[in-house]
Structure 1
């Protein structure tokens, strides 16, 4: 009986050792899988087979901040200046477009572009006091006669934009953007058509008339110029009415007039090389 009991203890000890060896082997495999990112699959047969993990190890990359481009304190562009007079007394916008297109390399003159300009041919209707009751909308096209042989007014950004886009596919309407954005555009070397007033002041008189797309409030002092430069205190304009190049105007005053006329502006983007 004692011999049998000794044999059982030896047999039990062998199974215990074998179990510990097996368990340590499995633990070692799992530890290896954890360290290497590989998973293991245990099949009914007891065979351990590697399974390709769908989880990729995380690659730690140090963040490198992109350099912030500081806006230049001043910039100036040498763009051609074109006079609207004598042919186009009401053509400040189309003449400003002519300057922008010529700067970009498009060989078009103001008369050619005036013929191509979108127009709102809605006839004018007057009130009994002579004020305008109903007329065209400058966001649709040029209102009136650009030569002022008859009553003529002007055109806004939305009306002029399609013509700019036809010649420069990268044209953008920057109406409503901050004036800082306009200056950044000039710093990149591209002028901006900007709506202001003839004397660069807030209009002292506003007029309102109805149009096919709703009422319009505006000023007959409305004007458009080409923004070609700026510094901390001034802006510099190619003015089609005076024919002056890089005309210096107080920046704060100019921004007020631009804001009063709806913060309108047109320009274009340089192609990505």
Structure 2
């Protein structure tokens, strides 16, 4: 009996020692975790919530996805009014082209309505002994000569014609000297432009010079103006007041060369927002 009791005591002592060793081991592990910042034995609910918060923070600070670039249209063709300058205005390509632009905008004005409103340079013409022009008006000031053909007529340039456009369109824009891509952008936005070119769409070789009240000017009687209504990769399309044809197709490279030769003149407007 004594032997049995001693055996039980030894067994209990072993269990007690084992329990103390286990408890001290667990305590040591927890203490180490506390001191080192390890997250063993954490509440899984808390850990999951912290992971969710970290993911949300990462998503909020991440750079937004890049927007896909909008592809620029390769061709545009607008349906704009076409008006012939003949027979009333043999020298009136610019004011006739302006009438087309205004009617497209929604202003009910004919070419003949606009003629008396167009600025004019009344400087009389004087000739040299050899018959060349010595002194005359300046198209940047107003129309030079007689637009109806009753006497010699020449032209009006963007600076003077722009004032008439602005009188009817508050958002009028003088796009002179802008790159041709700007005129294409206008068409993409649904707006045509009055542009200066030449009658045969070729760069002129017959330039002439005369003196004016504001200084000499170099120009050509091949000067012409049309309404630019479209483009594609190879051609531009114009409403030509002299040719009597709408959507006239012109080689783009040749057209840009003549437009450049005539000072890259163009007037248009911005669509109201």
Smaller-chain TM-score bracket: 0.7 to 0.9
The alignment status of 1:146 with 2:147, answered yes or no, reads yes
Matched residue, 1:220 = 221
Runs of 4+ in 1 over 3 A off after TM superposition: 59-70
Paired residues of 1:71 and 1:184 also in contact (CA < 8 A): no
The alignment status of 1:102 with 2:110, answered yes or no, reads no
> In 1, Cα distance between the equivalents of 2:130 and 2:187?
45
The alignment status of 1:202 with 2:203, answered yes or no, reads yes
TM-score relative to the length of structure 2: 0.76
- The Cα RMSD (Å) is 1.4
Matched residue, 1:186 = 187
Say if 1:220 and 1:68 are closer, same or farther in 2 by CA, change over 3 A: same
Matched residue, 1:76 = 77
Matched residue, 2:14 = none
Say if 1:73 and 1:171 are closer, same or farther in 2 by CA, change over 3 A: same
- SS class of match (1:208): strand
Q: Write out aligned runs for 1:110-259 (5 A).
A: 110-259=111-260
State the shift of 1:70 in Å: 3.2
Matched residue, 1:39 = none
Give the structure with the higher percent helix.
2
- SS class of match (1:238): strand
> In 2, Cα distance between the equivalents of 1:60 and 1:120?
65
C-alpha offsets along residues 10-44 of structure 1, whole Å, 9 cap, x if unaligned? xxxxxxxxxxxxxxxxxxxxxxxxxxxxxxxxxxx
State the shift of 1:66 in Å: 6.1
Q: Provide structure 1 residue ranges, at least 5 long, that are not aligned to the other structure.
A: 1-58
- SS class of match (2:245): coil
TM-score relative to the length of structure 1: 0.76
> In 2, Cα distance between the equivalents of 1:65 and 1:161?
41
Say if 1:179 and 1:220 are closer, same or farther in 2 by CA, change over 3 A: same
Say if 1:205 and 1:271 are closer, same or farther in 2 by CA, change over 3 A: same
Q: Provide structure 2 residue ranges, at least 5 long, that are not aligned to the other structure.
A: 1-59
- SS class of match (1:245): strand
